[in-house]
A and B are shown apart, each in its own frame.
Chain A
Amino acid sequence: MIKKISRIKNIGSFWLFDWNEINPDNCRDSQGNIITNSRGNPKRIQHEFRKYNILFGENGSGKTMLVSIFKSLNNNNSKDLNKHWDKKNEDREIRIEYNASIIAFEENSGWDSAILEHRFIFFDRNFISNYVHSGVTGRGTKHEQNTGKMMVYLGDFYDYQKQLDRFRSFRDFLRERNAAFEKLEEQKYDLLFSSIVEISKDDIEDRQDMVETLNVENREEYKESLGNKEEELRKLEKAFKGQKKVENLSSLEPIKSPIIYSWFNLSLVNSLFGFTVEGTAIKILDKIQSKKDFIQRGVELIEKESLTNCPLCEQKIRNGDYIEIIKQYQQVFDKEFNNSQQQAKKWLEEYKKFLADILNISTSIVLVNNQQKFAEINQYLTAEKEFPVLDSIQEEQNIIREEIGIVQDKEKRILSYLESENLERIKQIAEKLLKFIDNYNCVVQETNKILEQYKRDLRRGKKQEEKEKLLQEIKQLKINLFIIDRQKELLRYFRSVKCYQKNQGSSSNLDKIFNMLRKRD
């Protein structure tokens, strides 16, 4: 225990303080006489420090400097020991009586003992600042408050305080490290959004599952879909601006080429080119083959039975009547041949027209008009199917032209036998054309249906709802692409949040331990 501060030289306001000089050992009366006790012995004055002591004095008398001396002892340094204002060049000196020994401070060597190091606790302004008022500035006061850190110890507090300080120091270290960790990860996370206006952290916050599961292989699919949706939106917005133009859009026309109504029976072509007198005669003879026996039998009857009247018409039979029968047969042949020739000419004409139609269909005015109309419609809506375009290749056109040449040749020389090697190819080309027309008219029909529905929806405001839906879909696709392009970084952030929370949990446990330590203390 410190008994007295025997001497203070050149410290603060103490120029030269000597405890014994100002604290006499004996009690004296007002006249200066030594007071004695009942036994006649001088009455001694107890002038050493006791368990409780009060220091008081005027401002500048040295109270704070005495505390500084204790702090100097506690810290084992001379930081707080300022020299006297007027004695800056002179040495300092302190002597303290501690139990039965002397602890001394010299200018050059400092304290000669560390026995009182860390043996003090100071409830001074610094203590209040560190443990009572620290941290956040309180409302209506200039002090900063953090009462959670206030600790008051009784007994041999130093070891306890040291342990608590160590514990608190580590707890704070962990908190700070975790806060810095969170801040750094947040900064990295913020950077992911810095160059994108349309997507915010809120958009990603509730899509953690998606961040975990989105497949990077779907990126191109999302990108293509996004392009289509954006194009659709652009068209829709254009339609809103030009509603009148949309109303005036014309429907497409189906192909009504005569080709559909006069589709030529290609199986006739060979017989057409093979039309000759001989071929026709054989056909006619075939036709009257069944009558041959009938005629021969009739002639025999007339000759052998010497019939005077015809058994069929009962008219009189005269000489030379046989010639008439032959003539009649000749007439029958001529008539049949003529009919066949006319029919052949007619079919040749139809076949030629059919071939010309095939050749001209690609430049048909319907196709040209529809192409233009479709381009106008396509400015506002996107048809589900691509508009068919007829790709008539040069080789096909050459074959058809050659075939037309053969037909014209046959028309000029109707009774000459001709052959065409193009028939199979003509059939293929015709089949291809038929399919095209079917498909074309189907698309025309669908497009017209969509166009009419589009006009109705635009009038009824349904397109506005569609636009809202489209905007949502576009946003979702953009989020998907954003996530895929930054999946690794986003996953890292979500992991970091989990780490931070986990660390917070452990930090809370340290708080609990700390509180338990304080209670035990």
Chain B
Amino acid sequence: MDKENLLQKVKEESKNQEIKNIIDVLGDMSLSDEDLLKSLEEKKFISFKPVVDYDQEDK
């Protein structure tokens, strides 16, 4: 089983939609840690910006 298949299999087997979405964002994890973090942040899975504007956007 290659690397891509392993994560894809997990995605297929999981019933948790958020987990599926996170795996989609992580892709094959070939990006650097910083870039993966940025991707998760862009998709609102995580945030390190505790500002009012952010929360408004978040809502």
A residues lining the B interface (CB < 8 Å): 159-160, 162-163, 166-167, 169-170, 173-174, 177-178, 181, 185, 491-496, 498-499, 502-503, 506, 509-510, 512-513, 516-517, 520-521
| CB-CB contacts below 8 Å: B1-52 with A | 1-3, 6-7, 9-10, 13-14, 16, 18-19, 22-23, 26, 29, 33, 36-37, 40, 45-52
Q: Which residues of B contact A (CB under 8 A)?
A: 1-3, 6-7, 9-10, 13-14, 16, 18-19, 22-23, 26, 29, 33, 36-37, 40, 45-52, 54-55
Task: Give Cα distance in the complex from A167 to B50, angstroms.
Answer: 27
- Would you call B48 and A509 a contact (CB within 8 A)? no
Chain A residue numbers with a CB within 8 Å of B19 are 509, 512-513
Given contacts A513-B23, A517-B6, contact A499 B33 (CB under 8 A): no
Given the interface pairs A167-B29, A169-B33, A512-B16, the reply to whether A185 lies near B10 with Cβ below 8 Å is no
Q: Inside 8 A of B3's CB, which chain A residues have their CB? A: 159, 162-163
Residues on the B chain within 8 Å of A494, using CB: 50
Contact call B13/A502, Cβ cutoff below 8 A:
no
How many angstroms between the C-alpha atoms of A181 and B37 in the bound complex? 13
Q: Cα distance A516–B10 when bound, in Å?
A: 6
* A174→B13 contact, CB < 8 A: no
Query: CB < 8 Å: which of B9, B22, B50 contacts A185?
Result: B50
B47 pairs with A503, CB closer than 8 A: yes
Q: How far is the CA of A43 from the CA of B58 in the complex (A)?
A: 79
Q: Is the CB of B10 within 8 A of A517?
A: yes
> Which of B26, B37, B49 interacts with A177 by CB under 8 Å?
B37
Q: Which of B1, B2, B49 has a CB less than 8 Å from the CB of A499?
A: B49
Smallest CB-CB separation from A512: which chain B residue? Answer: B19
Question: For B36, what are the chain A residues with a Cβ–Cβ distance below 8 Å?
Answer: 170
Nearest CB of B to A513, in Å: 6
Q: Are the C-beta atoms of A517 and B46 separated by less than 8 Å?
A: no
In Å, the complex CA distance between A237 and B40 comes to: 59
Contact B47 A163 (CB under 8 A): no
In the complex, the chain B residue whose C-beta lies closest to that of A507 is: B46
A159 to B10 alpha-carbon distance, docked (Å): 16
Q: Closest residue of chain A to B10, judged by CB?
A: A516
- CB neighbours (8 Å) of A166 from chain B are 29
Taking a contact as CB atoms under 8 Å apart, the answer to whether B6 and A521 are in contact is yes
Which residues on A sit within 8 Å (CB–CB) of B51?
492, 495
Whether A502 and B46, one on each chain, are in contact in the complex, defined by CB atoms closer than 8 angstroms, is yes
**16 further interface pairs, Cβ-Cβ under 8 Å (given A185-B50, A503-B47):** A159-B2, A160-B6, A166-B29, A167-B7, A170-B36, A173-B33, A495-B55, A496-B50, A499-B49, A502-B47, A503-B48, A506-B40, A509-B22, A512-B14, A512-B16, A513-B23
10 A-B interface contacts by CB (under 8 A): A160-B6, A174-B46, A495-B50, A499-B48, A509-B19, A512-B14, A512-B19, A513-B19, A517-B7, A520-B13
Complex: A506 Cα to B46 Cα, angstroms:
7
A510 — which chain B residues lie within 8 A by C-beta? 22
B44 CB → nearest A CB, Å: 9
Shortest CB distance A158–B (Å): 11
* B52 pairs with A495, CB closer than 8 A: yes
Nearest-neighbour CB distance to chain A for B48, whole angstroms, equals: 5
Residues of A within 8 A of B14 (CB): 512-513, 516
A499 x B16 contact (CB < 8 A): no
A499 and B50 within 8 A (CB): yes
Chain B residues positioned under 8 Å from A495 (CB to CB)? 50-52, 54-55
* Residues of chain A with a CB closer than 8 A to B33's CB: 169-170, 173
Contact A520 B50 (CB under 8 A): no
Is the Cβ of A174 less than 8 Å from the Cβ of B50? no
Separation of A512 and B10 alpha carbons in the complex (Å): 10
Which B residues are in CB contact (< 8 Å) with A173? 33, 37
B52 with A506: CB separation less than 8 A = no
Of A178, A509, A517, A521, the contact of B16 (CB 8 Å cutoff)? A509
Residue of B nearest to A493 (CB): B50
Chain A: which residue is nearest B45 at the CB level? A506
Q: Which residue from A163, A167, A181, A521 sits with its C-beta under 8 Å from B48?
A: A181
B22 touches A506 (CB 8 A): yes
Least Cβ–Cβ distance between B54 and chain A, in angstroms = 7
B41 smallest CB distance to A (angstroms): 9
A174 to B33, CA, bound (A): 8
In the complex, what's the smallest C-beta–C-beta distance from A423 to chain B, in angstroms?
Answer: 70
Residue of A whose beta carbon sits closest to that of B23: A513
Q: How far apart are the CA atoms of A520 and B4 in the complex, in Å? A: 13
Least CB distance from A515 to B in Å reads 10
